Amino acid sequence: MKKVYYALIIVSSLLGCAPQAGEPTVPAKEQPNTAANVIKPAAKVVRCGQMPPVNAQRIEVMLAKSGKITESMSEQQKKQQVQSFIRAKQQGFAKKCR
């Protein structure tokens, strides 16, 4: 009977030292911040050949920074440059599906 009692005490003390379910085995401050630990936002699903929504104003700013649109251009020329950029991107998305 004493052997069973001692075995029960040893087993219960070992179980008390084990980490509980859901508890990290390494303390939080020691865990490295790896890609596996970081929660990523869900990716937007885009059908094949469908270009994601575009913001023409942001594209215009980007083209101005790259030098393809200058201050001396008229609004119609700027709009034409933005539209040709969007058209080229749309064609690139369509080629990926073929």
Query: How far separated are the first and last CA of the chain, in Å rounded?
Result: 77
Q: Give the model's pLDDT for residue 24.
A: 59
Q: Give the model's pLDDT for residue 74.
A: 93
Residues of the chain with pLDDT under 50: none
Query: What DSSP string describes 3-39?
Result: HHHHHHHHHHHHHHHSPPTT--SS-GGGS---TTTSP
What's the whole-model pTM score? 0.48
Q: Give the model's pLDDT for residue 49.
A: 62
Closest Cα partner for 84 from 98, 53, 66, 63?
63
